[in-house]
Amino acid sequence: MKVGIDAFSFDIPKIYLPIKDLAIARNIEPEKLEKGLGLIKMTFPDVHQDVIVFAANALRKLMIQENLKPSDISRIYVGSESGIDSSKPIASYLLSILEKEFGENSFEHCDALDLTFACIGGIDAMHNSLDFIRVNTDKKAIIICTDFAKYDLYSTGEYTQGAGAVALLLSANPRVLSIENKIGISAQGVFDFFKPKRVLSKTEVTGNNSNPEWFGVLENEIELFKEQPVFDGQYSNFCYQNRIKGAYFDLKNKIGETQTLYSHWKNIIVHLPYSYQGRRMFSEIFALDSELQVSLSNDSEDYAKQLKEIGKSDNYLSFVKEKFGPAEIASSNIGNMYTGSIFMALLSTLYYHYINNNNIIDEKFGFLAYGSGSKSKVFEGTIEKEWKTITKKISLFESMENCQAIDIDTYHLLHKKELKNSVISPSNEYILEKIENTQPLLMGARYYKFIK
């Protein structure tokens, strides 16, 4: 019995900052970001948007697009590293939001859960749900990846920001992509990128040594949470490269492949924190799983030089244009979606083949997922007969073209949460209506509504 992706939808911000404008404002040569990293646009949430809004909109689109009833869905699992509560999951918000439209208690018997492991949490949600469907072949599941990749102003990660959500309908006998059950895994506990609770002494904040109550805080420490991560870019790239390499060869060993594994893949779908990350990190695998392996040096410095040369070779550049190019289109125009990035790479690849009228039925795709902290999963999927019927529904590239550019000053106001009114008035979408700040028993509760 095949299991996999039966349908999909997405939601992204309607505004973006041109990367060229950000580069000029930061005294960076625009070509370094545009041609060096493949960045063109950086989407950014409007005032009325957050990760729950993106997830709810993507879920609603999928339900309507596929004419689904709440009773059709056995579980809604969310992969995210942008949770807004340490206890209440995003998935529980989605149930209450959608019930306003689909009926009170209509999702009462639907399992709901959030999974977090940096950018690989959505893949974990998918694999978990596919195992559920293998046992319960008459059931359907929806997984949603929703995130806001936010970095500090003037930081080295600033130009890799982005936001949005992808929703996937999973089932037996899928119409789009069947997914193999063998998974290569590589994991290690490291601090390449993380979002810790920062701690300040109350004295630092209040200037008072006697520890007075401060907005309900009785402790002498104040915990501060920032959406922006603590990260080491070079070390994170090192971990990314080593994890995908370890998982790749783990998969090759598990399936007993003796030839070059990636030669069987029509396209490579990879987590893209920026558009060209996949192609920049894959050169080592490209060399190690080919005839180039015998010529690699044992000296670490020479080895690194050889990989750089391979990465610049005509053979490799031709390879990445074919294998990675279609996935990079959406990433270049949206930015980093964290958990959703690998799935948006899939949607981008499928839509590329759709608009070019390519026949890809029965073709294999290779998936290379990564999450900081760190873990990689590598697996394969096969394109099914109705992929084109589903893909044509999403109008992906047209949606990206319809986004509106903002200027650098507006971007700064949004980043610092100083803008009071939305850049674009919401229409036919969910919005964040308010956050409770007066009732003690509901302090911090978030409320959403649909705007026609």
The pLDDT tens digits for 54-65 are: 999 999 999 999
Residues of the chain with pLDDT under 50: none
Of 183, 203, 224, which closes a domain?
A: 224
According to the model, what pLDDT value does residue 216 have? 87
> pTM for the whole thing?
0.97
Instruction: Quote the pLDDT of residue 205.
Output: 87
Does residue 217 share a domain with residue 139? no
Tokens describing residue 310: 């391979």
H or E element that contains 145: strand 141-149
CA 82 to chain centre: 11
Residues 105 and 215 occupy one common structural domain: no
> Which tokens is 53 given?
């809004």
Distance, in Å, from the CA atom of 74 to the CA atom of 112, rounded to the nearest integer, reads 9
User: Mutual orientation of helices 341-355 and 121-135 as an angle, nearest 10°?
Assistant: 80
Question: Tokens 């109008």 — which residue?
Answer: 395
Domain assignment present for residue 407? The answer is yes
CA trace torsion 166, 225, 157, 302 (10° rounding): -100
In a domain, 316, yes or no: no
Closest-CA residue to 152 (of 422, 412, 407, 335): 412
In a domain, 157, yes or no: yes
Say yes or no: 332 and 203 in one domain: no
Are 95 and 206 in the same domain? no
Strands (E), 158-254: 162-172, 177-179, 184-187, 193-194, 198-201, 221-224, 230-231
* Residue span of the structural domain in which 216 resides: 194-224
Last residue of a domain, one of 204, 224, 244: 224
Measured distance CA(369)–CA(122) in Å, rounded: 10
Specify the number of domains making up the chain.
2
The structure tokens 């920049």 sit at 280
**Is residue 303 a part of any domain in this protein?**
no
pLDDT at 224: 87
Question: Is there a single domain that holds both residue 141 and residue 202?
Answer: no
Q: Do residues 443 and 356 share a domain?
A: yes
Taken as a whole, the chain contains a residue count of 452
- What are the b/e assignments for 410-440, b being 16+ CB within 10 Å? ebeebbeeeeeeebeebeebbbbeeeeeeee
Judgement on whether residues 214 and 130 belong to the same structural domain of the protein: no
Give yes or no: residues 211 and 86 share one domain.
Answer: no
Give the pLDDT confidence score for residue 152 in this predicted structure: 97
Give the end of a domain, one of 224, 243, 273.
224
pLDDT given for residue 399 in this prediction: 97
